[in-house]
Amino acid sequence: MAIRFPIFMDAQSTTPCDPRVVEAMLPYFTEKFGHPASRNHPFGWEAEAACDEARAKIARLIGARDPKEIIFTSGGTESINLAIKGVAEMYREKGTHIVTTAIEQRAGIDTCKRLERQGFQVTYVPVQPNGLVDVEDIRRAITDRTILISVMFANNEIGTIQDIAAIGRLAKERGIIFHTDATQAVGKIPVDVEAMGIDLLSCTAHLIYGPKGVGALYVRRKGPRVRLAPLIDGGGHERGMRSGTLPVPLCVGFGRAAEICREVMAEESARLRALRDRLQDTILSNVEETYLNGDPERRLPHNLNVSFAYVEGESILMGLNREVALSSGSACTSATLEPSYVIAALGASSELAHSSIRFSLHRFNTEEEVDFVARRTIEVVRRLREMSPLYELAKEGVDLKSIQWKAE
């Protein structure tokens, strides 16, 4: 089978839209173009019904009891903002303390930083070297003023999957609202908001082979009922939590993507895990001083994050970018040359954090592509190390930390 270049292995930044999703969306651009809030004629009824059907499909994927608990947004970032800021404003009289982790994606961390400037207190619980947060550390961080626990379901760089059910039980025990950013987990691994005690869940379509520009926030209606202050006012759409005209074609696409994921998740995860392990084994067995970032078991089946000592991650990307699309971190931070704060939070040195590469596979990747990427990565890393005086010194047994560099 001929390989088409460049090969896309950056599926934790986005995924290609599944042709079946595109097919489902097309009629809603031309023939079925009604406004879902126009309830006095068939065009509006048809659009509203399509959005409600999409809600039901997303609800089934995450184990929600009621499709009305699905609030459409513009994407994962807005869903995270609405969850965290919405709780902060609505429950401010009850408390001003939020507990989160040090490795949340930027949408979560930056939202919490803004709230700190507005007088809220935020505890950023550290993680262990494998990227997992100790639930007891979260318990110790809780105060009598804590109104929200927000923990990412699966990390967008290292793929580590947190013990969400245990955190959910803790939140219920203490009567605290629990939000999870599940943008990387939904559609890839089993997610059940009821079984896991999740009150708010953020997700997005473009990471499950759906369209960009649409996301969703699950908002629990009972046990407990969660109330949110809206970010956007006007019209009272989406149960008053998110006003604005729904993008019907995108909502339909999101629903179809969720439906497909629910049907193929088990088989697809097993296939991608096998491909990921093939890639990992080939690289790690052929390149010395290469380190796996994150937990070797509790991680997403399509994620591989590796640090290559003595080589800059950006140099590896430049050596591969005509043939392979990869990432040295999250898409949210790729515009900066700062080392990954996620890798640094694992206790890795700045040098190793700078040398990390994320490989993330998707539904349409093939075994031939995996073998090509593994081979070319090995070639590029070896070539870069041949050019590295630091690698040469290390091979000679010199302790690089003991060197005192002289400034000119």
Where in the sequence numbering do the catalytic residues fall?
332
Helical packing angle, 76-90 and 106-117, nearest 10°:
30
Inter-residue contact 180 to 152 (CB < 8 Å): yes
Could you tell me how far CA 346 lies from the centroid of its own chain? Answer: 18
Inter-residue contact 224 to 71 (CB < 8 Å): no
In three-state secondary structure terms, 99 is strand
Residue ranges of E strands in 60-161: 70-73, 97-101, 121-125, 146-150
Other beta carbons less than 10 A from residue 144's beta carbon? 8
CA distance 164 to 198: 8
CA distance 395 to 208: 44
CA distance 189 to 8: 21
Residue type, 309: A
Inter-residue contact 189 to 269 (CB < 8 Å): yes
Inter-residue contact 161 to 136 (CB < 8 Å): no
Inter-residue contact 183 to 360 (CB < 8 Å): no
Q: Got the DSSP string for 152-214?
A: -SB-TTT-BBP-HHHHHHHHHHHT-EEEEE-TTTTTTS---TTTTT-SEEEEESTTTTS-TT-
Q: Which of 302, 376, 333, 373 is nearest to 11 (CA)?
A: 302
CA distance 107 to 109: 6
CA distance 131 to 134: 10
Helical packing angle, 248-286 and 367-386, nearest 10°:
50
Residues 6+ apart with CB under 8 A from 192: 62, 63
